[in-house]
Amino acid sequence: MRSYWIIIVYLALSVGCSDDSDYVYENEIPDSMRTYFDSFALEASERGWSINWEAERISGSFDDIDTDAVGQCETYDSGRRVINIDKTYWERSSDMQREFLIFHELGHCALKRDHLNDTGAAGKCISIMNSGENLCSIRYNSATRSAYLDELFL
Ligand SMILES: [Zn+2]
C-alpha cells in the first residue's frame, strides 16, 4: 500500500503492502463525497480523460485519520485505490475546501500524479497537487478554479 497525505502544515508519507484479492467493488463512495467524484469525472471528461470509478476500482471513505493529515490516497497491490478523508476536517470545511481536498486526492489516485510544490506569481501554488509542506499559498476559489483544473488534468 502506498499513501499520499495532504496536510495543512507538513507531509506524511507511508509505504506498506496488503493483499485484498477478494475485494469486490460495491459502489463505495459515500453520498456526501459522490458529488465531488462526479464533478471530478465531469471536469476530467471535458479535458480528454475518461474515468470510471468502478472500472478503476477507486472508492472513498471517511476515517479518523490519526495524524495531522486530512486526506489520503491508499493504493493497494491489486490496483484498488481508496481515498480516506478525515471526518472532522470534512464537517468543518466549505464546499470549495472539500472539492480541493477530493480533487487533490483523486489527482493521486485517479491521475497518478505526485506532489508539485512549484510557486508562481505572488507566492501562489501553481498546482492543486501542492503538498502543503512548502510556503506557497493556495487560493482555490471560483476565480482560480478553472486554471487550477487545467493544470490538474494537463
Ligand atoms: Zn497529496
pLDDT tens by residue, 67-121: 778 999 999 888 899 999 999 999 999 999 999 999 999 999 999 999 999 999 8
pLDDT of residue 66: 67
Q: Report the separation in Å between the CA atom of 45 and the middle of ligand 1, taken as the mean of its atom positions.
A: 22
Residues 6+ apart with CB under 8 A from 152: 103, 107, 111, 113, 127, 128, 129
Q: Which residue do the cell numbers 478525515 mark?
A: 86
Q: Quick one: which of 5, 1, 3 has its CA closest to 131?
A: 5
Pick the CATH number of 2-114 from 3.90.380, 3.30.200, 1.10.3470, 3.30.2010: 3.30.2010
Interatomic CA distance for residues 75 and 72, integer angstroms: 10
What does the block give as the cell for 111? 491521475
Of residues 60 and 23, more confidently modeled: 60
Q: How far is the CA of 37 from the centre of ligand 1 (A)?
A: 16
Q: Residues with Cβ < 8 Å from 153, sequence gap 6 or more? A: 43, 44, 47, 48, 49, 111
C-alpha cell, 54: 468502478
So where are the chain's domains? 2-114
The rounded Å distance from CA 25 to ligand 1 centre is 24
Strands 81-86, 58-63: pairing kind = parallel
Distance 80 CA to ligand 1 centre (A): 17
Q: What pLDDT, on the 0 to 100 scale, is given for residue 67?
A: 72
pTM for the structure as a whole:
0.84
Contacts of 6 (CB under 8 A, 6+ apart): 69, 70, 71, 72, 101, 104, 105, 131, 132
pLDDT at 5 over 60: no
